[in-house]
Chains A and B, each alone.
Chain A
């Protein structure tokens, strides 16, 4: 699926497909033409992705084929033992977690799950976790602390679920509790924003010693549409809101909210899972190894200083 702003690339792709259909066994000059078209496509894509606007980046971050937590687990981990439930109410499919092995490092992986097929999406509430999801996440974090293994969280959510049941079971309290506990967790936490970092729903598992972001991910206090409908009184002004909210990885690095950007392959993570996983793994392992050398006491003191300094100008 190509996005609106990728029309030029899509046109070339249509040409390539048509050419291939017409010349199933191209040789000589025909191969040259085909290669030329492929090159043109690659150049166009590179050019397009080098200059994505914030609103275009939002669309890439929400791309239906973008790798989700299960893809990251499959691509990064040699083993994953999923753990279920918050021991209080139920098991939220919008937030998953469990023991995992990345190379030879044992970690606790936790993250939002959006789901790919419609059935799965509905089961996961489109990645909008409920209080039981945040409480499951906290249970697993405390387990990781007990077993002295680091936590890696994958953030990809439009926001915490705004539902009646979620409110009644304490959505606010669940997120608040996680913020309090994560800020003092005595084991390393690496948080990775892989797609949409949707406000409280994202920060609810996002308090880390290191916060990483994929280059086309976004992270924001409110969705551009939500902001536009409140401050512009016009939901269609999302483009402007996206510009002014500073939600791209590059902006957030400048604002010192995140620590490093994980570069995506040309054309976005959805176009090349393998390259995305390879780079992500390298960056995550680098930070896990560095954090493994820090004592728990120093770790929590440093984490406190990191967050205390945010918004101090």
Chain B
């Protein structure tokens, strides 16, 4: 069963259902949308086309054939090579809390699955896990999934959702940029397709590594995609940036994204592209 068709908790016993159980407010245009309609629309506002961030499981349900997903390296988790601690306390505590909250061990889930019958390797980032930040476990999982793709001659799809490298693992996080790219170079050497899907947000060390070296770059509408942060750029150049700066549409205008695909059309588009890439 798809996540969007999950049976809702019944409210039959309560006197009247709460407002937030019936409708939600679009975070972008503030329009009120029936929750059922919102879920059916894959968490996209049908008025302004705002795409809400999704969890990795929601992405699996949205893109892969039912029951085809097999998770890879579920045990690979975050590490604390620097024994990092900041004003809010130790990184280890923060990471452990995040694991508890999200049920994940790192900011990415990887696995194999099928898109209309075509077998693919996939890495799906999840923004809930420390802003989808790239750290040692993330890099290792993305590399391992690429190795599975090479071994079994599968196309590779990475869905990015990340603010960039995770400061708490310091230089080790930075090294995940060359590490993931080295894995993709193996894929390239083996002549296997690699499709990069950029979702909101894809910035910093993730945009400056695996997300930007796809054969094909797909972005979800209005996603934030870029290298440096808007505030840093404005402070550097002492100018105000246009409102649509670093949006998916802006990136496409500047030649860095092949296409912007609405979530409801994503699976079908991936299927078509995989066919062109010669996948069976």
Contacts and interface: CB of A to CB of B under 8 A. Distances in A.
Contacts of A180: 181-182, 184-185, 188, 213
Interface stretch (A14-22, A93-101, A136-144, A230-238): A230-238
A160 B88 contact: no
Interface string A144-183: 0000000000000000111110111111110111011111
A160 B208 CA distance: 11
Contact of B236 (A163, A183, A204, A304): A163
B172 to A, nearest CB: 5
Interface residues of A, number: 55
A145 B84 CA distance: 40
A310 interface: yes
Contacts of B178: 179, 182-183, 203, 206-207, 307, 310
Contacts of B254: 168-170
Nearest to A168: B254
Contact of B165 (A167, A173, A221): A221
A311 B227 contact: no
Q: From DSSP, what is the main secondary structure of chain B's interface residues?
A: helix
A227 interface: yes
B237 A179 contact: no
B228 A221 contact: no
A176 B207 contact: yes
Interface of A: 160-164, 166-173, 175-177, 179-184, 199-200, 203-204, 206-207, 219-222, 227, 230-234, 237, 241, 244-247, 252, 255, 257, 303-304, 307-308, 310-313
Interface of B: 79, 81-82, 84-88, 135-137, 139-140, 143, 165, 167, 169-179, 181-186, 188-189, 204-205, 207-213, 226-229, 232-233, 236-237, 239, 241, 245-246, 254-256
Given A167-B227, A203-B175, 18 more contacts: A160-B228, A162-B232, A162-B236, A164-B239, A171-B228, A175-B209, A179-B209, A180-B184, A180-B185, A183-B182, A244-B85, A255-B81, A255-B171, A304-B186, A310-B136, A311-B136, A311-B137, A311-B172
